[in-house]
Each structure stands twice: as C-alpha cells, then as structure tokens.
Structure 1
Amino acid sequence: MKSIEMRARTIEEAVAAAVAALGVRREDCTVCVLEEPVKGLLGRLGARGALVKVTAAESKAEVGLGFLQEILGLMGIDGTVTVVSGDECVRYQIEGPGVKALIGHHGQTLDALQHVVNLAASRGSQDRRRLVVDVAGYRQQREERLLAMAQRLAERVARTGESIELEAMASYERKVVHTALQDHPDVSTHSEGEEPHRSVIISYRRR
C-alpha cells in the first residue's frame, strides 16, 4: 500500500493534495490526521497547517496479482506474471516452465483459476473491470480461433439461411463471438442454455 504525508492550511486541503499526489480516488484511501491546524497570532504569526497521512488501499489489480502469485507459489509453479491494465479488463499473462499445466482440458483449469482470482479481488472493490488470467498466450490464441470460426460460420448461415449452434463456451468466449458478429449485416447472435452448457446461436437476420 502507498502512503504519503501532506501538510496544508486545512485538513480537507491536505487530504485533497495527498489524494491527487497518489493518483487515487478519495474513497479508496484511509486518512490519519497527524497534526491539527493551529492558528497563529492575529490569525497569521505562528500559524501551522494540518498534517495528514493518507494511505491508498490496494487496487483490485494489485489484490488480484497478489492472490494469483500466492496460488502459483502454493502449486509450486515458478511463473512470471506480467500485468497489462486496460479500460475494460486487467490481463495477467503467466509465462515460465510448467505453466501450461494451469490450462487444463479446454481451458477449464484456467477458467476456474480466473474465477477465484476475480472473486478474491472484487470483494469490496468499486472497480468493475474484469480480471483475465492467461497462460503462455492460450487465451489470445483461443480468441483468434474463435474469431475465425465465428466469421466462417456466419458466412455459412448467411448463405444457407439456417441457424447454427456453437459448442458450449465460457461467458468471456461467448462475448468474443457476440462482439465479432454484432455488426454483421446478415446474421444475429444470442445465447441459450444454462451454465456451464450455455452456447451461442448464430441466426439468419431476416429482412
């Protein structure tokens, strides 16, 4: 956690300056008043401003990273985690010897790991970004295959007019397909079924 001490004319001004210096939101900080402001003679001579210590709580991304590294340690996996923060998600890229064991059958182990990391990091956080855990580029490669498959099947639906149901997918994979085809002029998509058997349906867009 990051902390900073700041002095200003009033407690409020000191807190505002400290929050700005830390680059965080006020609600994500705790404030300790070290010295109350003191008025001097005639309001000026001997005056002393307020001194506060402001501590920024760990961000959702930091909590997620710490939790993920703890899990890797418990599993005896010597992996290096690179963090890439974006507007919609925070991506943890794990590289190193033996890390592919984290993927599992069709990425099921990786999905479970990502789920618990999100649960641990989201508790009490106002940050709505999704935490994505990737291993040796698996998710990126999977997304590229999904995009290619979605376009290929969309063209088939547009040509035949018959709907196609894709295999059951995790929610983030379904979102990849929905996003890829949302502007397609001839097809539409929707999801059907209950988790973990929910799948995407690509349908002909009738005019």
Structure 2
Amino acid sequence: MKPLSRAEIVELFTRLRELNPHPTTELAYHSPYQLLVAVVLSAQSTDVGVNKATRKLFEVAPTPQAMLELGEEGLKRYISSIGFYNTKAKNIIALSRILVERYGGQVPHDREALEALPGVGRKSANVILNTVFGEPVIAVDTHVFRVSNRTGLAPGKDVREVERKLERRVPDEFKRDAHHWLILHGRYVCKARKPDCPHCVIRDLCRYPHKTPAGA
C-alpha cells in the first residue's frame, strides 16, 4: 500500500475539520480526575457504557478523596456493568490514593507520572495530555489504528509504530485534534466490520482496497 502524500494528508484532515471543527472525547466528565477515571473504565468498553455508569458514580465520588471514602467495594456497585470491573475498581482506588498522597488530589501534567498510575498506559496518558492539557499528542486506540492503516495515513503493525508515524506525518496545525477526528471517523464511518464507504468524506483519498459499494 502506498502511503498518503503530504498534500493528501492535509486534504484528509481539512475535510474532517470542516465536518467537525471542535472535536472532543465522548466520555462525560467535569474535571481532569473524572476524565482519568472514565478513561481507565473505557478500556475494552464503550464510551456509552462508561458514561451510563459514571453519571451516578461522579455524583457520589467526584474527587480522589471521595472515591477513597467510597472504597473499592462501594465503587464496584456503580461500575459492575463494565467489563473487568473488579480490576478497574482496584486500579481506580489505587490511583486515587496516589493522587491524594503525592499530588494533592490533582492529575499530574507529566507523562511518566501518568503512566505510573495503576490502569494507565501510554494511550490513556496521551488522552489526558491531549484533552486536559492541550498537548498535540495522538492516542492510538483500535479506531485510530484501523483508520490509519486502511487509509494509508500511517500504516503500521502495532500501535506504537502507528503513533510514531502519525507524529511524523500529521501536520502541526492538525495534531491537537487529530486523534479525536480519527476516533470519531473510525467509530461512525470507517467501522471495523462494515465501513460506510459510500458516505465517507475521504473516500477518494483512502487506499483501502475493499471499499463497500453503495447499497451494500
């Protein structure tokens, strides 16, 4: 597969920006801490399912200290509908304790510190650095990975390779919002099983050889 040219990449993101000038996460939150919790819960789960659980959870435990007071067993009652909730509850209580004891209850603006938190990997840290602190980093989830490979934007065998290529290939003017555009495009248009190619705004740029025809 021939990767997209720089001019094609500029055109791709220009079109996505025209459709959605101010993209953001679909996770519901009211503070950096709440986004962090939501991101941990979202691993291998849908944003819709996470939002349903956190809507009630954040009413009783909106801060790290309140989460510690709720406790692991109390937390499980709110997130039991989410996959791997036992492990996630353990991680959320542990990271809440670290935030209270080391960071005054605040989410640190530091990649190393974020990745050291239980349940927080590179992708999750990138989400926080981008969405909370405005850094032009790109979080590569399954949607970003799929779109990057299908289109020829940044083909790679694993998420780190795709991330490195995106960092090099995405023009600076688009980096701040790039992963939001790619996530949303993958979630609603370039879907895993049946991409909606006939309604894709970047269809003519895309290198995917198995485009779905109109009416399919």
Query: Same fold by TM-score, threshold 0.5 exceeded?
Result: no
The structure richer in strand per residue is 1
Q: What TM bracket, shorter-length normalisation?
A: under 0.3
Larger Rg: 1
Answer 1 or 2: which has greater helix percent.
2
Of the two structures, which has the highest relative contact order with CA contacts closer than 8 Å and spacing of 6 or more?
2
